[in-house]
Amino acid sequence: MSFNLSEAAELVGGNLIGDKNLVINNLARIEEAQQGDLTFLYLPAYDKYLASTQASAILVKPGFNKLRNDLSYIEVKDPNKAFSKILIHYMSPSFQLEGIDRSAFIHPSAKIGKNSAVGKNVVISEGCKIGDNVKIFHNTVLLNDVEVGDGSLIFQNVSIREKCKIGKRVIVHSGTVIGSDGFGFFTDEKGVYKKIPQIGIVIIEDDVELGANVAIDRAALGATIIKRGVKIDNLVQIAHNVYVGEDTVISAQSGISGSTKIGSRNILAGQVGLIGHIEIADNVIIMAQSGVSKSITKPGQYFGSPAKEAKNALKLEAHVRNIPDYVDRIAQLENQVKNLTEEIKKLKENN
């Protein structure tokens, strides 16, 4: 992969200062970049690497103090986004998988679209429908009547249970399970747990990406729904009958309990937990390690366990950290009050 720096500047609408004919061979972090690499700088914490970087060119904000004349610069409003755009344009990976491997089992009733590829030991069961330009990597299992839309990419060791529906351009990373049974049980008269059949499905809409080892449970009735554009990180649990709205992002080790409805354009940071049967409004940010115990009805940032509006929660956290000081101050005030009381008592006795 190589490209001309002026082409990259045009791609991101940037102002090129330096060698317009410079050829870029790679993209790299500023502290690791070598000769011929393009890097970027957008956080002050990385300014310290500017003097030592071996990069040939760098994306910076307009007005950046260009201390090194041996570097070429592209000025852009947001170097981080510009770098990502260049990365996508020039270096998007092409996953090599063609044809249908002889070791794969494909039921005669299954339908495979044009230019789709199936890897080693894949199982595609009765009634499955696979769209065009789909890649299904090794050891993945699709049970009966699963549907996979055009252009989707399913990596190795993925399990998709019966009747689940996967949209177009969906990416599913290794180890993920879609459509496992929801956690549904009741106790009989002897207190023994009895399993409740989970007869619903999972529907994953277009342009969703699921990280490694994500578990999305099938609905008890109806469907667990992941709407268009949702991005889910590794090790996330989505319980039965959950609804996740469009363009929501869920970070690693988060867990969503059953029948909870999450709005659109939300961000759930790492290790967030939501109890069941609540609703989260659109445009909500829930900060890391928060526990949500009731519905959130208005947009904003939330933090804590139980989660509160972030501004109030952080004030509360500050007070909690200061409790030892408060204890000392209260003890001092108590001693002062005690001493004053004794002095007043003596004064009264003397009068």
**Number of domains composing the chain:** 3
Q: Tell me: do 76 and 164 sit in the same domain.
A: no
Statement to judge: residues 176 and 63 lie in one domain: no
Angle between helices 5-12 and 79-91 (to 10 degrees): 120
130/199 same-domain check: yes
Catalytic status, residue 173: no
Domain for residue 66, yes or no? yes
Q: How far apart are CA 348 and CA 51, in angstroms?
A: 76
Are 164 and 180 in contact by the 8 Å Cβ rule? The answer is no
- Structural domain includes residue 99: no
Residue at 294 is within a domain: yes
Q: How far apart are the first and last CA of the chain?
A: 98
pLDDT of residue 1: 74
Residue 96 lies in a domain: no
The single residue of 89, 107, 240, 319 carrying the catalytic annotation is 240
Residue 114 included in any domain? yes
Which of 135, 165, 169, 136 lies closest to 150 in space, CA to CA? 169
Claim to verify: residue 160 and residue 305 sit in the same structural domain: yes
Which one of 61, 91, 121 terminates a domain? 91
Give the per-residue pLDDT at 205.
98
Instruction: Give a yes or no: residue 98 inside a domain.
Output: no
Task: Tell me if residue 253 falls in helix, strand or coil.
Answer: coil
Q: Give the pLDDT of residue 349.
A: 83
**Residues 121, 266 share a domain:** yes
In a domain? residue 257:
yes
pLDDT tens, per residue, the chain with 351 residues: 799 999 999 999 999 999 999 999 999 999 999 999 999 999 999 999 999 999 999 999 999 988 899 999 999 999 999 999 999 999 888 888 999 999 999 999 999 999 999 999 999 999 999 999 999 999 999 999 999 999 999 999 999 999 999 999 999 999 999 999 999 999 999 999 999 999 999 999 999 999 999 999 999 999 999 999 999 999 999 999 999 999 999 999 999 999 999 999 999 999 999 999 999 999 999 999 999 999 999 999 999 999 999 888 888 888 888 899 999 999 999 999 999 999 998 888 887
3-state secondary structure of 45: helix
Residues 68 and 118 in one domain: no
Q: Which domain holds residue 332?
A: 321-350
Judged by DSSP in three states, 276 sits in coil
- Enter the tokens of residue 338: 């005690």
Same domain membership, residue 282 and residue 327: no
Looking up residue 64, the CATH number of its domain turns out to be 3.40.1390.10
Distances in whole angstroms, Cα of residue 48 to Cα of each of 27, 38, 45, 65, 345: 19, 17, 7, 13, 66
Please tell me whether residues 200 and 140 are part of one structural domain: yes
Do residues 70 and 113 share a domain? no
Q: Which two tokens stand for residue 37?
A: 């690499």
| Together in a domain, 285 and 334 | no
Residue 138 token pair:
């090794």
CATH number at residue 271: 2.160.10.10
Residues 56 and 84 in one domain: yes
Coil vs helix vs strand at 44? helix
| CB neighbour class for 190 (10 Å; exposed up to 12, middle 13-18, buried from 19) | exposed
The tokens of 319 are what? Answer: 């007070």
Kindly state whether residues 63 and 132 are assigned to the same domain.
no
**What is the reported pLDDT for 95?**
85
Which pLDDT does position 316 carry in this prediction? 82
